Amino acid sequence: MIQALVLTHGAIGAELVRVVELILGPTEGLRAETNQGRSAREMTEIVSAWVSELGPDPHGVVFIDDYGGSCANAARLGGTEAANIPVVSGINLTMLLAMVTWRDELEPAELVQRVVDQGRKAVTVVGGAR
């Protein structure tokens, strides 16, 4: 099973995970962490511990809310690159639902691409001026 760590500012990630579980039920391997009240070192340690928990052949994805921010830095410094774990920026609900839905069917690289594609499709203008 491909696992996911959602790193965000404030409670954004925790709420996204909560809503995924409201829709799909309890979801193993999906975890959210916030940078609120945590130092850069603490965030990096959280990522590093998560990467270690995945074991010697890690299958995981880290989702972040903002590229270039503290969550992105923690993901990079926490060992995702060395473990070949993708970091995907711009998390939204559609992306997490796609990840959980297809993670047992697709290889990691294909899953990540499909999640990104679905997330992009979900960003659109609904009604109003176009």
pLDDT score of 127: 85
Write out residues in the chain with pLDDT < 50, as ranges: none
Domain residue limits, the chain = 3-115
pLDDT score of 126: 87
* Residue found under tokens 């696992």: 3
Which residues are CB-contacts of 74 (< 8 A; sequence separation ≥ 6)? 7, 35, 40, 43, 44, 46, 47
CATH architecture of 3-115: 3-Layer(aba) Sandwich (3.40)
pTM of the model as a whole:
0.93
pLDDT score of 130: 59
pLDDT score of 64: 97
Contact 62, 80 (CB under 8 A): yes
Contact 91, 65 (CB under 8 A): yes
pLDDT score of 55: 87
pLDDT score of 77: 93
